Structure 1
Amino acid sequence: MSKASPGPTPGYLVWRLANKWRVAVDRAVAPLGLTHAQYVVVASLYGMGRSGERPSQRRLADHTGLEALYVSKLARALESAGLLARTRDPHDPRAVQLALTDEGADIASRAIDLVQDLHERLLAPLGGPGTARTVAFTDELTALLGTPLAPPVPHDQRTQRSTP
């Protein structure tokens, strides 16, 4: 039997914060016709494109932390909306490169401004962006994200069910 926690667990709080943040971004970018996931794609492409990169779908998936199949689905939807172009990589015909269209870059820029304003409001309880508390919070989140997921241990008593 497990002991009851005296309060919410860190995992629960991270999950709740992630959901709150996602909903807030969804609401902020909805007037531009974007979802939070689409925002992640266009904002990432905007930044990568400004540094001269034209990433493959795989590279963008690695950059964003989204699954490659999900990035592919998002890219198709954004392409249909005229916000990005998908082209074959001349060096690897199996790979698809992504780049924002002019309209996509305009939408991405506007969305980034909206989300930056949102971040200022969401980080206000920590003193706002750039404060010592926000920097420390960011460092803690980065440490948690950098921890690799351990594969489940086979035949571990905790993961096995007894059979009658």
Structure 2
Amino acid sequence: MSEATPGHLVWRLSMKWRVAVDRALAHRGLTHAQYVMLASLYGLERDGRVPSQRELADHTGLEALYVSKLARSLDADGLMQRTRDAVDTRTMRLELTAKGREAIEPAIAEVAALLDKLLAPLGGRRGARTKGFVRDLTELLDTPL
């Protein structure tokens, strides 16, 4: 059997992670993509930002069209609010609702516990091997194609 390529391993790890998050959050009625949107918005708001759909797409790595579709769905579910930017009416700003905050806070804790399990072989979230792994992944993500 031939050795797995780095691309294959990255793909397998990303799929493993997506499936694990989907399973962990199914009881909350959240998919991995919805979690990424809500958790990212939560973090950006904690930094004092009210991001546009485009800014959230750039932050999450999701396609802008997909973010728009998810934002409409999460807005309809009462988890986030979409409002037109006062200066540029083509821009849609996103904010969590109280219901969205109530939904995402315990989900973030659950995903953090899941991440602890996934990273245990590297010494946990704060381990030296994990820090190196994060540096390597960041370098790869920051490298233009």
Listed as ranges, the matches of 1:61-100 within 5 Å are 61-100=57-96
- Give the SS at the match of 2:4: coil
2:116 to 80, 99, 120: 120
Task: Provide, for residues 94-138 of structure 1, a one-character-per-residue CA deviation record: whole Å limited to 9, x for no partner.
Answer: 000000000101111111001000000000111111100100111
- One of 3, 24, 31 as aligned partner of 2:27: 31
Structural mapping, 1:20-59, within 5 Å: 20-59=16-55
Among 3, 10, 13, the residue aligned to 1:7: 3
TM, length-normalised to structure 2: 0.97
Aligned residue-pair number: 145
Over aligned residues, Cα RMSD in angstroms?
Answer: 1.0
Unpaired segments of 5 or more residues in structure 1?
150-164
Alignment-derived partner of residue 146 in structure 1: 142
Partner SS state of residue 94, structure 1: coil
Counterpart-to-counterpart distance in 1, 2:88 and 2:5:
46
Match of 1:137 among 110, 127, 133: 133
Answer yes or no: is 1:103 the counterpart of 2:84.
Answer: no
Say yes or no: does 1:16 pair with 2:12.
yes
* CA positional deviation for 1:30: 1.3
Question: Residue 157 of structure 1 aligns with which residue?
Answer: none
Q: Distance in 1 between matches of 2:47 and 2:122?
A: 31
Q: TM-score, normalised by structure 1?
A: 0.86
Which aligned runs of 4 or more in structure 1 are off by greater than 6 angstroms?
A: none
Larger Rg belongs to = 1
Supply the AA of the counterpart residue of 2:111: V
How big is the shift at 1:52? 1.5
1:92 match: secondary structure: coil
What percentage of residue pairs aligned between the two structures are identical? 61
